[in-house]
Structures are given as structure tokens and as C-alpha cells.
Structure 1
Amino acid sequence: MDQAVSSSALGAVSAVGLSPVQLFLHASIVVKLVMIGLVACSIFVWAVIVEKILLIRRINHEAASFEDLFWSGGSLDDLYETEGARPVHPLAAVFGAAMGEWRRSSRIEGIDMVRGGTQERIDRAINITIAREEDRLSRYVTMLATIGPVAPFVGLFGTVWGIMHAFGSIAAMHNTNLSVVAPGISEALFATAIGLITAIPAYVAYNLITRSLDNFSERMQAFGTEFAAILSRQSEERKAGKN
């Protein structure tokens, strides 16, 4: 008799199915909403990951090409006209901001009377540009930091609701057979799985992308410091020439 009941229960479970589509279709409306929300977050996470990977590769390649031009010994004015006036990548933007400020300051009469005035403006222009580029490059990255910790708890909410739904089915049918309990438990565990599938890539990608962007930020800072020193030496040479 027990064996017959078990066979019947297993047959009912098989009829429902354990495929992701079947688990979604037979889930309660609340668990369906949780699943849809987590899948949407997962798509967003992977879109950000792909976009940032391509972005980081591109800006590093562009930075390397620009540094080759910068240190080739060519005219800074010519480089400004070709790269700095309308920058298309972060390092060129830093160069353009500093060079533009230096050129504007050099036109001001009596600028040499204000000690350190030119250098302060150049440093400020570099720092503001670097901060603006960092904000632009890190756009949407903070969302990964939010989705990573939150997604498992959203999945857990779906799990709890699915288990409640399973117990509700038991109470309504006055039956504890596997055919009654299994669908609710399965959809509950499936919600947890989606939460983890969403959270793990978000958490790992956030750490890797943040580290890569921090490295590039340090690269911009180093270039800005070196270029500011070059402009400072040129300013001192101009002052010495006038004296």
C-alpha cells in the first residue's frame, strides 16, 4: 500500500516536472515576481560586466597609444590640437585640461607676479578631470555592489514564500504526500538558486572591475603628476627667460 502511494506521488511530481520552465509556471505569483526580478537583475549584471570589460580594454589601449605619442618628443601644442582639444579618452582629457589651463594662464598679463598661481590651477584642472573621468568610468558599477549582497536575500524571500505555499497546500489538502509538498519546495529552492546565480557574478565582477578601474585611476594620477611637473618646469623656464 505504501509503495503504491509513493509511486503515485512520484508520478505526480514527474507530471509537474523539475525543469526551470515548469518550476516557474507552477510557482505562486509572488515567487514568479521574485524570479522575474532576479532574472532581470542577472541580465543587467552581465550587461554591465560585458560593457566594463570592453571599456577597460579600450581605455588601456588608448592610454598606451597616447603615452607613446606624448613621450615621443613631439610638440605639446601639436598634440593638444590633435588629441587634447577634443579628447575621446580619459588620458587625453587629463592632458587637454592641464594643457588648456596652462595655455590660458600663459596669456594672462602679470601671471608671473602670482607665485604658484599657474601651478595651482593646473593641479586643480587635473584633479577635477580625473574625478569626472572616474565617475564616468565607474557608472553602474555600484549597482553590482548592491545586487551582489541583496540578490541572495531576495531569493531567500522567494524560498520562504514557496515553503509557506507548500505548507498551505498541505493544510488545504490534509495530505503530506510528496506530490503535495514537492512542487512548493522545488519552486522555493529554484528561487534561491536564481538569487545565487545573480549574486555570485555580481560580487566577483564588482571586485575585479573596481580593482581594474582603480589601477587606471592611478595611471591617470601618475600621468597628471608627471605632466604637471613638465608644465611647471616650462613655466620656470619662461620666467627665467624674462628675467
Structure 2
Amino acid sequence: MKNRLMNKLRLAPLCFVMGTALSGCVINVGGHSSSDYDGNVNRVFGSISVSENRQVGSLTTVNGGITLSDNVKADELTTVNGGVTVGNFCEIDGITVVNGDIEAGQQLVSGDSIESVNGDIILGFGAKVDGSLITVNGDIEAADLTLTDNIETVNGDIRISGNSVIDGDIIYDDPENNDNPSTPTLSIADTVRLNGEIILERDVKLEIPDTMTSKVRYKSSAM
């Protein structure tokens, strides 16, 4: 899973936008523009910040974070070393991060998966994601989530609450040569609807309703 995320990031464009030089400053998109739409922004060093009520293309940075204010529409958000913070009522085409947390406010709409290798995924109330939530070393937390695919991690805790609907599976992948001795926790509220299964390839502490125990599948030979 980690290799798949890394390969995806290698394909991200690493050009510059509007002649911006290499620096550690923050690009503010829409702060002084009269246009309702700003195109793609690609950075090597520096963060990207988008003002509220803007529409932008894809945002890519290698060493820096990405911040969207409220009511922003954007294409895919991609960063290697930096977190992603999304405000309330935003619409995006997915997020891919290597080293950094992903945090979103209320009513996020994502047209594709949200993925981090080393970082948490924390989604505010009422997110709708047309894809998966995936981490390797990070927690996943959401309330009243609507998800069309899987929730997947190796070492992170998963907490799903409210009237969430998960159409796919919840998967704990085999940690293989894992140096992390701690046992992660899967916590699911009894108001959550899980249409798929709970697939465990490692030891996991389960805090799930009795009605979901029949969905648990152990796939590790060590179990």
C-alpha cells in the first residue's frame, strides 16, 4: 500500500506557477485576484493557501502544506512533506500526502480517495468521499461519513461515529516487519452502517457493536 501511494506522488507535476522562484514563502491564491477561478499551483518549496469562496485547479507542493479556507472548490491536493487543512463546505477531487496530517471541516465533498502514508486523516461532520480513506501510519476519524469504498490502514486507530455509511470494507493490512509494538483500536458506533466486512491481517482491539461481529474476517496466519 505504501509503495502505491509513493508511486502516485512521483507522477505529480513539479513545475512552478507564474514564474514563482524557489522559496519558503506561502502562495496565497485568490487573495488579490478579481477572478473567480485560479488555475493549477505547483510548488517545490513553500506552502499554498487558498482564500474562501475560490475555485482552483490542482494544488501540488513537495515541501510545504496546503490550506483551503471555507467554500473552496479544488482539483486534487498533493504534498510530500506537509499537512493539508481543508475548511468547511469544500469540494475537492481527492488528497494524497506522504508525510503530514489531513484535516477537514464540516461537509467536505471529495470526488476521489483521501490518502496519507505517515499522517492522520480527521474529517469533520458530514463528509462525502467517493473513494477510500487510506493511511499506513496514521489514525482515521470521521462522523456522519458517507464513503463509497474502503477504509484502510496498517498501524492507525480508526474511529467512525454518527450516522456514517461505509459501502466498502474496513481493512487492517499486514504490518510485515513492523517496529511498532502497539495494538491499534477499531472503534465503530452502533449507529454506523457498514455494508462491507472488517478484514484483519494483524492484531486489532475491536470496539464494535455486537451486530458487526459476524462481519469480522481474520486473514493473518498468526491469528
TM-score by length of 1: 0.21
By relative contact order (CA 8 Å, sep 6+), the higher-ranking structure is 1
Greater Rg over alpha carbons, structure: 1
Whichever structure has more strand as a proportion of its residues is: 2
Whichever structure has more helix as a proportion of its residues is: 1
